[in-house]
A = this chain, B = another copy of it.
Amino acid sequence: MAFKRRARAIRADHPHHEPHTPSHPLERLIFFSDAVFAIAITLLIIEIQPPDLPRGASVHDQLQALVNLAPHFLGFFISFGVIGAFWVGHHRAFSFAHHWSPKLVFPNMLLLCAIAFMPFSTSYMNANAWQLVPTAFYAAVLLITSLLNIWLVHRATAPGVADEKSDARLIIRTRSRGWAVATGAALALVIAFVSPVWSQPSLSTIPLWLRLYGRIADRRADAMFAPEGT
């Protein structure tokens, strides 16, 4: 009996080791996802071809060649930020997840597929900056990615997967973040049809949506969990 109690005490610190369940499936899913995120984010750079200048090129020509790459650099930084933000969101959502569920596999795989697609849409956008179709394509891929992200975050923080001791308020707030990114992507898609040049800059409204939706989530949580004694 003492043996059993002790084993349980230890298990509490290793929440993924559930009794009668194969060990580690959740950690392996997270691990695989991290690797895909890391590869996609690092592959972004190999799409940029360095200029190959003739031996005696003047400093002016050398600088000009670098300046010509500016949209590529900008595209790299934007997509690095985008993939990085999705990774942070994945990290945040799965920090609640303590129990394995096979239901996580499919939405996670679809999200990773969308993330692995980002180097293409980035490179396509960079090679044809500010044209209608590539700009709309980039925003559309981002919108699909953010919707898949919402789906996955929902499953990773759902009852049965999330740690029972998780703060329900934090879960509501975390879920609201996905909608903020989706709103920014939808805005960028609409603007692409009006004025492609302003499509990517409109992604910079995402922090505003994050704050707005965060407040709404807090209020909703306040209503749901009225403080004790009121």
Contacts and interface: CB of A to CB of B under 8 A. Distances in A.
A38 B35 CA distance: 6
Contacts of A57: 128, 131
Contact of A10 (B9, B40, B105, B131): B9
Contact of A116 (B9, B42, B52): B42
A70 interface: no
Contacts of A43: 39, 42-43, 45-46
Q: How many chain copies?
A: 4
B37 A39 contact: no
Given A7-B13, A11-B13, A25-B95, A62 B120 contact: no
B63 A133 contact: yes
B116 A24 contact: no
Contact-size category for A: 35 or more
Interface of A: 3, 5-7, 9-15, 17, 20, 22-25, 28-32, 34-46, 48, 50-53, 57, 59, 62-63, 66, 76-77, 80, 84, 87-88, 91, 94-96, 98, 105, 109, 112-113, 116-117, 119-120, 123-124, 127-128, 131-134, 137, 163, 165-166
